[in-house]
Amino acid sequence: MKKALIILLAALLISTAACSYEYTPKISLPEPTPEPTPEPYDPGKLTLGVYGAPELTAYGFLKTAEELGYKAERLDGMTVEEVLLWGRENGGLLLYGAGGADRAAINETAAYGCAVVTGFFPTAAPKGAKANIEFKEYDAGTAAANIMAGRLSGKEGVVLVCRSSDSEAEAAAEAAFRRRWARVGSSKIALSATEYTGEGEHAASAAAGMLERAENVVGIFACSGECAAALAQASAEIAVKKENTAGEEGSDEESSSYEKPFIMSAAADEAAVSAVMTGELYAAYVQPYYEAGAEAARVMDAALSQGSYYEPSGLEGRLIYQADAEEYYSLLTDMRAFIADR
């Protein structure tokens, strides 16, 4: 009897345990949705524009922008108002010298996502601009005075300071030269201001006449490339003429002798650089216009592609001599062809 009760109790316990167990099905959680992979930055979808810049700056900007993969346009045919509206719909804008735009208008364009870079903005760069590209434009006179004072040491005579226009650049170059010469130049060498008015087919004769009228010219600082090239050529031609006539019957060899003046240029256009290449002109001063444009494009690229700031650097003028004149002349030639297609 006891055995039967024990068996019955065990059966009840087993049955109760079985009834209390509930089956819980395994839940299959969905796989997490992967975050979308951001599209790689494509500069080819954006256009960068330049407005109001010198040709060489525009060339540096356009060429560098295209090398970085952007489309690039020169916008000089527009008004500044049209340019700012253009900027709101495009990637970046180099606004040189402000072009008459005020700070508020520039900041508004930048607020649309346009990477605005100014060049030589009259005061500090507008708040919305990524950078203000600038450099010391008028160091040519100082550099020339330093070199000329050394090369003419021990000589006596006159240094012609020659201008061909009333432009701000030429006036500033002359002023800088005179300031520096007063400190480093010889008291035995006087400065004499003169104006070069030659043009076209009369350029050579005008330059030659200027040199022949002047007395004891030992040096020339030309404030324009056109003036420098014409005077350098005329000086070389006078030297050849004097040399050829020195041995002619009845000529006075001593009076026919001619020492070419030491000539430097404050500008480096094609004519001046060509004269440096031939050795007729000692050196020409190059402003970093090309580099300014290239740096502006790099600033925009850093802002657009990485959201970062690129610090413009290396914007300093330099003198070019015969050894590197050919390379710079090629740059000017390439610029002419490039700009002509725009």
User: Which has the minimum average pLDDT: 54-58, 151-155, 218-222, 252-256?
Assistant: 252-256
Residue 214: band (very low, low, confident or very high) from pLDDT cuts 50, 70, 90: confident
pLDDT at 262: 96
Instruction: Tell me the pairing of strands 47-51 and 115-119.
Output: unpaired
Per the structure block, which two tokens stand in for 224?
Answer: 């324009």
- The phi and psi torsions of 220 (rounded to 5 degrees) equal -140, 130
Main-chain phi, psi angles of 310, to 5 degrees: -105, 125
What is the pLDDT confidence band of residue 98, given thresholds at 50, 70 and 90?
low
Confidence of residue 238 (pLDDT cuts 50, 70, 90): confident
| Residue among 97, 17, 7 at smallest CA distance from 50 | 97
- The arithmetic mean of pLDDT across residues 38-65, rounded, is 94
Residue 319's pLDDT is 95
* Amino acid 134: pLDDT: 85
Mean pLDDT over 33-56 rounds to 88
CB 320, CB 286: distance < 8 Å: yes
For residues 29 and 318, which has the higher predicted lDDT (pLDDT)? 318
Higher pLDDT, 164 or 148: 148
pLDDT at 111: 93
Using CB atoms within 10 Å of the CB of residue 129, give its burial: 0 to 12 exposed, 13 to 18 middle, 19+ buried. Answer: buried
Q: What is the pLDDT of residue 14?
A: 52
pLDDT band at 59; cut points 50, 70, 90: very high
Mean pLDDT of 18-24: 52
Flag whether pLDDT at 249 surpasses 80: no
**pLDDT value at residue 2:** 54
Domains plus CATH for the chain? 43-134+290-315 (3.40.50.2300), 140-286 (3.40.50.2300)
22 — pLDDT class (breaks 50, 70, 90): low
